[in-house]
């Protein structure tokens, strides 16, 4: 597809490298020559220097031949104007804008058509939603949902005292007493597609798929604490914190925010009547103790500085806080921190670029039936959801009789919205929803592609 | 330095040369030139051995390709192409000495067209074909060709660094987002125009093999002739066709892409193209006035003036008349055009019209700056302000160009030729033109020079084709330092 990306900032540059790797024709618009030069050297893209909201610049970037425009500059107003102009020049173009100011949420929803918007992303809000999901169902580092929320792929890290250490996957059922499927394991940064004789070690990150009910049983039998989160401590009071506090208030949790800037504190206190907002430096351990870090059920570090977030999270882990979530701005820092006790890691720019990449794939797959796509195992594999059609080959044949591609695994089959963990005798029928896990990114475009 | 990756890349280049030689072998077989057949077979065996020797240890090379690797790969690829490509000349006995054969091959690949051979009609015709073919592939560039045909997308940054090193001009860009697509478009335009040129030549009743060779020389703006008097003894029609196509191949290829897209407006408004056309018409007019007494009719005067301007400006180097006999003023203009060369992004050599334009404009700015030091001024091309780094690079390029010119001039002066011959000889090689003046004029050749002079000029041709820096960095210690 022919895609224009306006703005080469955090989200823009992540998108460029991801979409270029998937073989799209990309044009990047930015006013900053240094940004453009760096991007041209790293990825196979065309660059246009200028103001992305100006008609001239958009015409130079051949907006009339483009299929999609992604406006990801750091200014909402510029993004909106950019999408409006592009839509005015090319009626058939899809547009995605990054809109982060909550004050615009309503008008964007109501005036979508006059803005010419197809889709909006709000990195902070999406990160907040992701964190909320983790806090509502604690125990896992990450959850991706399929089949309308009935099937999930979760990330589980094995600590040194886990019951699963030294156990082969084929023996796993005896310990966890729940039907689950391990579809990928990341060990020391390398992803594996495990077979039955794969023996688990401390530090492994498992990607498990199962119906949601089975996952709850898994956590219980593993002895992972699933106590409901009641007291949450948010370190840092920026936008994510604001959105998150709103969400958590609705869920009935008790939220404390520590923020350094007194004006920001004032604003938060005004806007969030239920939350307790306190002024202070969260790198100060005495201050954290004062706010009751030791008795918190969860600590989320959300300051703008990665190092600070990591330090505070390490301290929270040392104080035996049951659930720790760390926001990391640069994904490469997240990979570096893999061996540290930072709990779940949330990277807003990867979340929003992930959402955009999913939109792009959905646009591409309009004829095939990929419903959802999630990148798992640190981006080394992906899980794709398909609807089985009448003309899908091998319907009704048992899985053990099918020849699949070596890097493909059928993770779940749902019939009438009842998900199952597939076995050798399982079959899929028209109307079923199937979740596939594959290590080849972007190679499985339709369900027919999985057969060898 | 990622030597394994470079080895893998260079093995692909030599494999490509193997494929390029197949048509020459077929021609040799069909004409029954047994000496040439043996020469090509032996060369291809050597190339195959070299390719395997490089490919086997390096086939698992990684994919991290930085700017250093790109530049070194580019120069190494051209040197390897030249060394392997000169073998048929040696084995067939056409040019038995290595230095001569290397000079001839480098002159071919760099689309210079200077020759050391006194009598090319004595060469086997398949060897003549190979000699001209090097022009065609060298014109658009062998790395661009590899990029267009190789499967896969290449590693990160792989393609851009290579293209930058090989493509002529001050500011290298892409036509479409994908590098590979850009390379394909360039080659398709190139092939389309070459075929058109060939059809026109065949319509003029030219012998097919001669027509192919002449087309190769025109398209690549090389200029190896198939006769000793270049194009002088061909019909005026052939000469005029060649004149037009030499001008066409000296134009930036992205202009043709814009025409294909139907965007005529930006083509007409292109500053470089306008300056190029202005230079062409002004030079033809001035030369025609200057040499009008030498020819019988106005038709002949104009034809010869236009052809000579075309051949020098596009840096081809054919000749239809001995322009060394022209008056001084006409020769002066030709010498100036030699330095200007064709447009950036064309197959021509020289300083490039775009760069010359930038230099003149920044000179004008500096003069105004002296008179009015507080005024803020920008240099504009096509109505857009030019980045200062591009101007700095153009100035640095000129400095490097002059330095190399002076050094080569000193070496060549040891031959004891006149200053005019020596200077024009160095200029013609450094700008990939072909013929010089006086003792190195269009009716003479470079065969009488010493080995040292030939090697110096060989290096000059490579330096000129790759635009100086890729070759110069081979001699920088930083290039070879471990990272």
- A130 is a domain residue: no
Q: Of how many residues is chain B composed?
A: 483
Q: Is the pLDDT of residue B483 over 50?
A: yes
Q: List pLDDT tens digits, range B220-233.
A: 998 888 888 888 88
- The pLDDT tens digits of the residues spanning A136-147 come to 777 677 777 776
Question: Is residue A336 assigned to a domain?
Answer: no
Across the interface, which of B156, B161, B177 has its CB nearest the CB of A46?
B177
Residues A189 and A276 in one domain: no
Q: Are residue A15 and residue A95 in the same domain, yes or no?
A: yes
Question: Are the beta carbons of A45 and B177 separated by less than 8 Å?
Answer: yes
Query: ∠ at Cα B201 (B196, B202), nearest 5°?
Result: 95
Nearest CA in chain A to B161: A41
Question: What average pLDDT does chain A have?
Answer: 83
- Cβ–Cβ below 8 Å for A25 and B387: no
Q: What's the gap in Å between the CA of A337 and the closest CA on chain B? A: 24
For residue A40, list chain B residues with Cβ-Cβ distance below 8 A.
160
Is there a domain that residue A349 lies in?
no
CA dist A14 and A17 (Å) reads 6
3-state secondary structure A195-255: CCCCECCCCCEEEEEEEHHHHHHHHHHHCCCCCCCCEEEEECCCHHHHHHHHHHHHCCCEE
Q: Tell me the longest C-alpha to C-alpha distance in chain B.
A: 74
User: What is the C-alpha separation between A298 and B188, in angstroms, rounded?
Assistant: 62
Burial pattern A78-96, b for ≥16 Cβ within 10 A else e, equals bbbbbbbbbbebbeebbbb
- Average pLDDT for A376-398: 77
Distance of residue B29 Cα from the nearest chain A Cα, in angstroms: 43
Pairing relationship of beta strands A94-98 and A68-71 according to DSSP bridges: parallel
> Which residues lie closer than 8 Å to A391 by C-beta, 6 or more apart?
none
Q: Average model confidence (pLDDT) for chain B? A: 88
Beta-strand relationship, A231-235 and A94-98? unpaired
Q: Which of A99-108, B18-27, B396-405 is predicted with the least confidence, judged by mean pLDDT?
A: A99-108
Q: What percent of chain A has pLDDT over 70?
A: 93
Pair A108, A175 in one domain: no
For residue A424, the Cα-to-chain-centroid distance in whole angstroms is 31
Mutate to test the interface with A, among B154, B161, B175, B177 (most CBs of A within 10 A): B177
Residue A240 lies in domain: 231-321
Interface test with B, best of A44, A50, A67 (most B CBs within 10 A): A44
Please write the tens of the pLDDT for every residue from A339-377.
677 778 888 888 888 888 878 877 776 655 566 777 777
Place of tokens 């920001």: A264
What is d(CA A264, CA A64) in angstroms, rounded to the nearest whole number?
Answer: 43
Q: Structural domain tally of chain A? A: 4
**For a pLDDT cut of 70, what percent of chain B falls above it?**
95
Of A171, A190, A222, which closes a domain?
A: A222
3-state helix, strand, coil in chain B (%, to 5): 70, 0, 30
Q: E strands of B354-457, at which residues?
A: 380-381, 384-385
The reply to whether A433 touches chain B by the CB within 8 Å rule is no
Residues A242 and A216 in one domain: no
Q: What is the pLDDT of residues B164-197, one digit of tens each?
A: 777 776 666 778 888 888 888 989 999 999 999 9
Same domain, A40 and A110: yes
A48 has a chain B CB within 8 A of its CB: no
Reply yes or no on whether the pLDDT at B159 is more than 70: no
The model's pTM: 0.80
Beta carbons of A236 and A261 less than 8 angstroms apart: no
Q: Provide the pLDDT for residue B479.
A: 82
Is residue A335 assigned to a domain?
Answer: no
Question: Which chain A residues touch B150 with a CB distance below 8 Å?
Answer: none
Residue pair A447/A386 in contact by the 8 Å Cβ criterion: yes
Packing angle of the helix pair B67-85, B98-109 (nearest 10 deg): 130
Sheet-wide strand order for A381-387: A370-376, A381-387, A433-438, A408-415, A418-420
Strand order in the sheet with A190-192: A142-146, A151-157, A205-211, A181-187, A190-192
Does pLDDT of B156 surpass 50? no
How high is the pLDDT of residue B155? 47
HSE toward the beta carbon, residue B111, CA cutoff 13 A: 36
- Tell whether A250 and A207 lie within a shared domain: no
In A84-214, DSSP assigns E strands to: 94-98, 119-121, 142-146, 151-157, 181-187, 190-192, 205-211
Q: Is residue A261 in a domain?
A: yes
Return the closest-CA partner of residue A408 out of A439, A371, A372: A439
CB contact under 8 A, B177 and A25: yes
In chain A, residues with a C-beta closer than 8 Å to the C-beta of B171 are: none
Distances (CA, A) of A15 to A24, A76, A377, B253: 11, 18, 19, 31
Residue appearing with tokens 């000193």: B410
pLDDT top residue among B57 and B63: B57
Would the CB atoms of B156 and A42 count as touching at under 8 Å? yes
Which of the pair, B343 or A20, is modelled with greater confidence? B343
| Domain end point (choices A222, A247, A280) | A222
Confidence grade of residue A409 (pLDDT, cut at 50, 70, 90):
confident
pLDDT, position B409: 94
In a domain, A132, yes or no: no
Q: Which residues of B touch A442 (CB under 8 A)?
A: none
What 3-state class would DSSP assign to B275? helix
pLDDT of residue A338: 66
CA angle A433, A439, A441 (to 5 degrees): 85
Query: What is residue B423's predicted lDDT score, i.e. its pLDDT?
Result: 92
Model ipTM? 0.75
Residue B104, pLDDT above cutoff 90: yes
One domain for residues A148 and A111: no
Contact (Cβ atoms closer than 8 angstroms) between residue B143 and residue B150: no
Beta-sheet strands, E only, within B344-457:
380-381, 384-385
pLDDT at A385: 80
Q: Please check whether residue A45 touches B, CB under 8 A.
A: yes
B380-390 average pLDDT score: 85
A405 in any annotated domain: yes
Q: Are A6 and A116 part of one and the same domain?
A: yes
> Out of A23, A41, A46, whose CB is closest to B174?
A46
The Cα A140–Cα B208 span in angstroms is: 75
Of A26, A33, A44, the CB nearest to B153: A44
- Length, in residues, of chain A: 452
pLDDT tens-digit map of A102-114: 788 788 888 888 8
Q: Are strands A142-146 and A68-71 parallel, antiparallel or unpaired?
A: unpaired
Tell me the mean pLDDT in the region B52-78. Answer: 82
φ, ψ of residue A309 to 5 degrees: the values are -60, -40
Q: Is the residue at A65 inside a domain?
A: yes
Q: In the predicted model, what is the mean pLDDT of residues B398-410?
A: 94
- pLDDT at position A370, please? 65
Scanning A361-400 for CB atoms below 8 A from B yields none
Chain-centre distance for alpha carbon A159? 23
For residue B131, give Cα distances in angstroms to A330, B112, B320.
55, 12, 20
- Name the minimum distance, in Å, from the CA of B158 to any CA of chain A: 8
Contact criterion met (CB below 8 Å) for B311 and B245: no
Sign of CA dihedral B393, B398, B402, B405: positive
DSSP, residue by residue, A373-431: EEEETTTTEEEEEEEPPTT-TTTTS-GGG--B-TTEEEEEEEETTEEE---TT----TT
The pLDDT value recorded for residue A440 is 66
Nearest-angstrom CA–CA distance, B472 and B470: 6
Same domain, A47 and A94: yes
Tokens of B369: 């700056």
- B428, exposed or middle or buried, with CB in 10 Å at 0-12, 13-18, 19+? buried
Contact A26 B176 (CB under 8 A): no
A65 touches chain B (CB under 8 A): no
Same domain, A389 and A313: no
Write B395-400 long-range contacts (CB < 8 A, 24+): B395/B359, B395/B362, B397/B170, B397/B351, B397/B355, B397/B467, B397/B468, B398/B351, B398/B355, B398/B359, B400/B468, B400/B469, B400/B472
Verify whether the Cβ–Cβ distance B178 to A44 is below 8 Å. Answer: yes
Which pLDDT score is estimated for A256? 92
Looking at A300, A321, A342, which one is the last position of a domain? A321
Q: Give the mean model confidence (pLDDT) for residues B423-447.
A: 89
In this structure, are residues A167 and A200 in contact, taking their beta carbons and an 8 Å threshold? yes
Closest to B464 in 3D by CA, of B305, B351, B304: B351
**For residue A179, pLDDT beyond 60:** yes
Residue A105, min C-alpha distance to chain B (Å): 34
What are A233's two structure tokens? 């401590």
| pLDDT(B269) > 80 | yes
Shared domain for A360 and A317, answered yes or no, is no
| pLDDT for the residue numbered A147 | 66
Q: Determine the pLDDT at residue B427.
A: 92
Residue A148 sits in a domain of what CATH number? 3.30.70.1450
Q: Is the pLDDT assigned to residue B377 strictly greater than 80?
A: yes
Closest alpha carbon within chain A to B70: A41
Chain A contact for B67, CB < 8 A?
yes
CATH code: domain of residue A62: 3.40.50.720
Q: What is the DSSP pairing of strand A254-259 with strand A276-279?
A: parallel
HEC-encoded secondary structure of B60-121? CCCCCCCHHHHHHHHHHHHHHHHHHHCHHHHHCCCCCCHHHHHHHHHHHHCCCCCCCCCCHH
Does B167 touch chain A if contact means CB atoms closer than 8 Å? no
Contact of B451 with chain A, judged by CB distance below 8 Å, is answered with no
* Residue A417 main-chain phi, psi, to 5 deg: 65, 15
Same domain, A278 and A212: no
| Mean pLDDT to the nearest integer, B326-345 | 91
Name which of B346, B326, B318 is nearest B238 in CA terms. Answer: B318
Query: For B157, which of A23, A25, A42 is closest by C-beta distance?
Result: A42
How high is the pLDDT of residue A226? 63
Most confident of A185-194, B45-54, B61-70: B45-54
Q: Judge whether residue A190 has pLDDT over 80.
A: no
């Amino acid at each position: 597809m022919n895609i224009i990306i306006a703005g080469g900032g955090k989200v823009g540059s992540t998108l460029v490298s991801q979409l270029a790797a998937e073989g799209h024709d990309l044009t990047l618009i930015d006013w900053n020559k240094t940004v453009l030069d760096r991007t041209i050297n790293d990825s196979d893209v065309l660059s246009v220097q200028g103001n992305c909201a100006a008609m001239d610049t958009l015409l130079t970037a051949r907006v009339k031949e483009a299929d999609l425009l992604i406006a990801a500059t750091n200014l909402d107003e510029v993004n909106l104007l950019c999408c409006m102009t592009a839509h005015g020049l090319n009626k058939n173009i899809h547009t995605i804008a990054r809109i982060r100011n909550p004050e615009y949420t309503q008008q964007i929803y109501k005036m979508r058509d006059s803005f010419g918007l197809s889709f909006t992303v709000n990195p902070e809000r999406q990160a907040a939603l992701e964190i909320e999901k983790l806090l509502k169902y604690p125990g896992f580092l990450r959850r991706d949902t399929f089949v309308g929320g009935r099937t999930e792929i979760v990330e589980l890290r094995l600590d040194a005292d886990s019951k699963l250490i030294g156990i082969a996957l084929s023996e796993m059922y005896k310990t966890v007493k729940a039907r689950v499927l391990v579809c990928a394991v990341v060990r020391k940064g390398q992803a594996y597609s495990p077979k039955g004789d794969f023996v688990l070690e401390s530090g492994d990150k498992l990607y498990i798929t199962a119906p949601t009910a089975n996952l709850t049983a898994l956590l219980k039998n593993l002895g992972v604490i699933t106590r409901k989160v009641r007291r949450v401590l948010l370190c840092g009071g920026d936008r994510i914190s604001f959105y998150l506090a709103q969400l958590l208030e609705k869920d009935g949790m008790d939220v404390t925010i520590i923020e350094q800037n007194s004006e920001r504190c004032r604003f938060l206190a005004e806007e969030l009547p239920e939350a307790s907002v306190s002024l202070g430096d969260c790198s100060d351990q005495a201050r954290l103790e004062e706010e009751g870090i030791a008795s918190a059920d969860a600590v989320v570090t959300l300051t703008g500085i990665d190092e600070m977030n990591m330090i505070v999270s390490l301290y929270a882990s040392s104080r035996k806080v049951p659930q720790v979530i760390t926001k990391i701005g640069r994904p490469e820092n997240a990979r570096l921190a893999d061996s540290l006790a930072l709990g779940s890691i949330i990277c807003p720019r990867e979340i929003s670029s992930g959402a955009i990449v999913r939109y792009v794939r959905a646009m591409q797959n309009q004829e095939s039936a990929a419903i959802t796509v999630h990148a798992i195992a640190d981006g080394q594999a992906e899980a794709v959801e398909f609807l089985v059609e009448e003309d899908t080959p091998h319907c009704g044949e048992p899985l053990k009789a099918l020849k699949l591609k070596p890097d493909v695994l059928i993770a779940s089959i749902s019939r009438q919205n009842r998900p199952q963990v597939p076995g050798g005798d399982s079959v899929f029928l028209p109307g079923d929803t199937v979740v596939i896990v594959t290590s080849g990114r972007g190679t499985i475009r339709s369900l027919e592609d999985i057969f060898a | 330095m990622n030597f394994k990756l470079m080895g893998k890349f260079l093995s692909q280049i030599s494999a490509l040369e193997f494929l390029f030689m197949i048509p020459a072998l077929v021609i040799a077989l069909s004409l029954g030139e047994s000496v040439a057949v043996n020469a090509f077979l032996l060369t291809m065996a050597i190339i195959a051995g070299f390719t395997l020797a490089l490919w086997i240890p390096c086939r698992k090379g990684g994919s991290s390709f930085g700017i250093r690797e790109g530049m070194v790969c580019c120069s190494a690829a051209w040197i390897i192409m030249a060394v392997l490509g000169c073998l048929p000349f040696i084995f067939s006995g056409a040019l038995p000495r290595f230095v001569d054969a290397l000079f001839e091959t480098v002159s071919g690949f760099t689309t210079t067209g200077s020759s050391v051979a006194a009598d090319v009609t004595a060469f086997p015709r398949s060897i003549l074909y190979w000699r001209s073919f090097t022009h065609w592939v060298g014109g658009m560039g062998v790395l661009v060709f590899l990029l267009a045909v190789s499967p896969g997308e290449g590693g990160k940054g792989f393609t851009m660094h290579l293209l930058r090193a090989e493509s002529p001009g001050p500011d290298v860009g892409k036509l479409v987002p994908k590098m590979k697509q850009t390379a394909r478009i360039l080659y398709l335009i190139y092939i389309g125009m070459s075929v058109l040129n060939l059809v026109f030549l065949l319509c003029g009743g030219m012998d097919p093999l001669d027509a192919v060779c002449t087309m190769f020389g025109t398209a690549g703006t090389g200029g190896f002739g198939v006769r000793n008097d270049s194009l002088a003894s061909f019909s005026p029609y052939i000469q005029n066709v060649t004149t037009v196509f030499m001008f066409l191949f000296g134009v930036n290829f992205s202009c043709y892409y814009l025409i294909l897209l139907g965007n005529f407006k930006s083509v007409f408004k292109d500053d470089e193209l306008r300056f190029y056309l202005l230079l062409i018409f002004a030079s033809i007019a001035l030369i025609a006035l200057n040499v009008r007494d030498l020819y019988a009719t106005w038709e002949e005067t104009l034809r010869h003036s236009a052809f000579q301007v075309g051949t020098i400006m596009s840096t081809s180097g054919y000749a239809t008349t001995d322009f060394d006999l022209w008056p001084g003023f006409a020769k002066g203009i030709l010498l100036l055009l030699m330095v200007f060369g064709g447009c950036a992004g064309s197959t021509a050599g020289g300083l490039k019209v775009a760069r010359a334009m930038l230099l003149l404009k920044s000179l004008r700015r500096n003069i105004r700056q002296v008179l009015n030091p507080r005024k803020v001024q920008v240099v504009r091309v096509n109505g857009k302000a030019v980045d200062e780094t591009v101007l700095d690079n153009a100035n640095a390029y000129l400095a490097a160009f002059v330095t190399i010119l002076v050094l080569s001039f000193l070496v060549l002066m040891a031959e004891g030729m006149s200053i005019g011959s020596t200077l024009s000889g160095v200029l013609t090689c450094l700008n990939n033109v072909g013929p010089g003046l006086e003792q190195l004029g269009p009716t003479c050749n470079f065969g009488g020079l010493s080995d040292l002079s030939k090697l110096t000029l060989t290096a000059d041709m490579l330096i000129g084709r790759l635009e100086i820096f890729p070759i110069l960095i081979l001699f920088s210690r930083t290039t070879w330092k471990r990272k």
